[in-house]
Structure 1
């Protein structure tokens, strides 16, 4: 191990961990929600800035030929994304925190801790650091999922607690599988650093093969891939909407980074291909039958994870396409959840699809933003970011003679059009007039679903996320260059 530590390379980690500590201290000594929220927001933005300032840098905690902390441009980009997602989720949670629906101190501290885990994943250079980062990202989310105390005008329920328990139990199983896979691979090859991972030869080859399969299956939990996917719909729907947004974006991004780091050095093509086909197909087919908004987005995100796994099935050649797709998806998914949060009262759940009927008539700009996100997730204009994401995956698969998997991706993309179009159309639909005494259905709709005030933090977050989605749609090469 090298004796010198490159503290400059560790600045993003210091900023993220410092944010969690400062949020805790602000809540303890100042005891004002505004101070705690502001401290967390400034700290997350500082983390993003420092990740860009550090950029590619010499690694630290190094042995001969490998380091445990590896600053690169892809690491910086993903660290920035983790930090910005944290700031965005905090902004979406501000109305609930101000109403006392969730305790601000605990919420900000746990969210900053989760961001710290995301930063560790981005820069990790060995399996131990990678798994520790994943657990640091995930552990606070067990509590955040069930942190909602009550919803306005509703009786307290145990939905959040049930969702949190489901998430915890399945996560424990996946972590055990991941650790067993890492241990078997280390026993067969003696390598722990990502740069030194290699396929085992001789009598240890079968042991290493089992280790790789277990490692990939355990990490696939983080992206809600089949068969460890059943936690996602119930957890997303039972969690507060901002936390569901974080689960669907930051948590999933962490899983993609971990899988990419493994499959770039180890042969897991067969396992990844099977997971990809099952994940995208089951996700899309079940999404067709959903009647609740957050559950539909959850199953949609499962299907989107299948497209990412399809690129990772190629191994190292598909890593760039997979990471680019993950970034495009995260931005569009966050836009969708931001609109959902804006259309629902603070502290309320995601509601059913009927609750969003005619929403675009009441709030045209929110409707347009949601349609942009849905079109991008479907891979259609005007969501150009999603279109380029799917094209990059299909093109990469075809170039490497995996046309059959590219065909499965295209077929599933066509299936997904059905539920994305259904949701988009309902935003502009009028309520049914059968059995109604009011002559004007528009007036009735306004009475049942009054237009909610859009707070400044939520409005600013939505504007920023839509701007990023549009910029990536028109200049996707900026992202591809940063991830190469």
Structure 2
């Protein structure tokens, strides 16, 4: 079988991503300075984004007569650049943790760059095998990153890093096995693995192809924490370092959406995906109503958001643009939310004496409870405003216009394709979600009801129990850039839609 030669220009984004991981490792081994390792990794993310956008829809790739395994297109370039941006944002949010020595900088940067390589592979994948390899390349480093934190809180009911990592690993293995079985059955029924040739099977293999497609979609749904493979997300997010929880909720989920979109647009899977969508958004929103820990609330919220994306994918090819646009809006808003959690460091906002603050340890890096955020907006106005922007966007309300356009796009696509009942379920769940988003937003601007130090002026009490502290510059820069992108896309969302088309 004759095949076309490998075009190395088309593979430049992959080379840049893999090269970033290698250079980060070498920098840590040879120079052994945290600043150098982090700088090399950040420059590598810029190289990945620049090469992806430079290559664009380059007409040259690794192909065979059956199809292409690496497909350079503009949507692939945009998503690859987004993976690089999310990696850079996660690294910036991790700087306080790396400076404290909570995680080793060399291993952290190397594993994060390896995960970015998997995300780039998913963006350009042209067959099912490349797709699953990319997903596993993205996920494998995350098993270690989730449990990489050297210190863990011992006096709060959060999941320990080792437990979170093990939970993530075990459920991921099961999901991967289900997806591989689905690929095997699909190949048996259709005889193809390339996405451009994937389609309905011929008689008498339709039933076998249907089972294969269902198993494949259920396995891939793990990446977006869809029901029934969703239980790993809350405990994993809560046990992981906050920046890694942000990466799981953004880059990992974006990779899952891309994989699901590639398969759902070519196979008849409307029944499976619509059922998953209804269960995922409903379970996510109802359980989120009862959460008292910030990271767990964001985790269940992200599960519900995945349900809205699955609702768009249930339409097949017509719903893919809406699903991808929603996913990109969502990951930017999630990055802002986790960035604010990192910036505020709730452990430092709990009412305590000056001595207790001075004795704070690097272990105080979890997301805290919702009560830890009560009244924080009066001392940290701009981070609180950024969190309100993210929450309103996730709820689909102004001033989060990006999230509003995302939900309108999904609902509009469902209505135009005749999925009225599913559009109604999306709207009902969006209304339910308003309760917990509004709850957090109100807490930010509410003074504590029972101040810990009995003085006459409640404002003075607040100044003592909620001390002002500087936010690290990398975290501030990440929040500003993400907020700027969110506001810009809220006013000109067509820019994103045109890039994805």
Alignment TM class, shorter chain as reference: over 0.9
Tell me, yes or no, if the aligned pair for 1:59 and 1:67 is still in contact at 8 Å: no
Per the TM alignment, residue 452 of structure 1 is displaced from its structure 2 partner at its CA by: 2.6
CA–CA separation in structure 2 for the residues paired with 1:107 and 1:287: 30
CA–CA distance in 2 between the matches of 1:287 and 1:157? Answer: 16
Q: Give the aligned partner of residue 234 of structure 1.
A: 235
1:203 CA displacement: 1.5
Q: Deviations over 1:293-315 (max 9, x none)?
A: 00000000000000000000000
Q: Distance in 1 between matches of 2:165 and 2:458?
A: 40
Q: Which of residues 356, 372, 376 is equivalent to 1:359?
A: 376
Query: Structure 1 pair 42/435, CA: closer, same or farther in 2 (3 Å)?
Result: closer
Q: Residue 460 of structure 1 aligns to a residue in which SS?
A: helix
| Residue number in structure 1 paired with 2:177 | 176
Q: Matched residues in 2 for 1:81 and 1:434: separation?
A: 44
C-alpha contact 2:152 2:161 (8 A) present in aligned 1: no
2: CA distance, partners of 1:158 / 1:306:
25
Partners in 2 of 1:469 and 1:155 — Cα distance?
34
CA deviation map 1:391-435 (0-9, x unaligned): 000000000000110000000000000000000000000001378
Matched, 1:290 2:291: yes
Q: Give the superposition deviation at 1:438.
A: 2.2
- 2: CA distance between counterparts of 1:149 and 1:443? 37
1:225 aligns with 2:216: no
Cα distance in 2 for partners of 1:157, 1:366 equals 24
Q: Give me the whole-angstrom Cα distance separating, in 1, the residues matched to 2:7 and 2:452.
A: 71
Q: Secondary structure at the match of 2:94?
A: helix
Helix, strand or coil for the counterpart of 2:410?
A: helix
- Which residue does 1:54 correspond to in 2? 55
Task: Give the equivalent residue in structure 1 for 2:358.
Answer: none
Cα deviation digits, residues 348-384 of structure 1 (max 9, x gap): 1000000111111110001110000000000000000
1:87-106 to 2 correspondences below 5 Å: 87-106=88-107
Root-mean-square deviation (Å)? 1.6
CA–CA distance in structure 2, aligned partners of residues 302 and 147 of structure 1: 24
* Aligned equivalent of 2:407: 390
* TM-score, scaled to structure 1: 0.98
CA–CA separation in structure 2 for the residues paired with 1:82 and 1:159: 28
| In structure 2, C-alpha distance between the alignment counterparts of 1:152 and 1:158, rounded to whole Å | 9
Deviation at 1:440, TM superposition (A): 2.5
> Superposition pairs for residues 128-207 of structure 1, below 5 Å?
128-151=129-152, 159-207=160-208
**What is the CA-CA distance between 1:34 and the residue it aligns to?**
0.5
CA offset at residue 57 of structure 1? 1.2
Mapped to 2, the partners of 1:242 and 1:45 lie a distance apart of: 19
Q: SS at the partner of 2:69?
A: strand
Instruction: Give me the whole-angstrom Cα distance separating, in 2, the residues matched to 1:18 and 1:435.
Output: 53
Measure the CA separation in 2 of the matches of 1:156 and 1:91. Answer: 27
The secondary structure found in structure 2 opposite 1:349 is: coil
After the TM superposition, which segments of 4 or more aligned residues of structure 1 sit over 3 Å from their partners? 151-158
Paired residue for 1:408?
A: 425
How many aligned positions are there? 484
Q: Unaligned regions of 5+ residues in structure 2, if any?
A: 349-361
Please give the alpha-carbon distance, in whole angstroms, between the structure 1 residues aligned to 2:153 and 2:99.
13
* Distance apart, 1:131 and its partner CA: 0.1
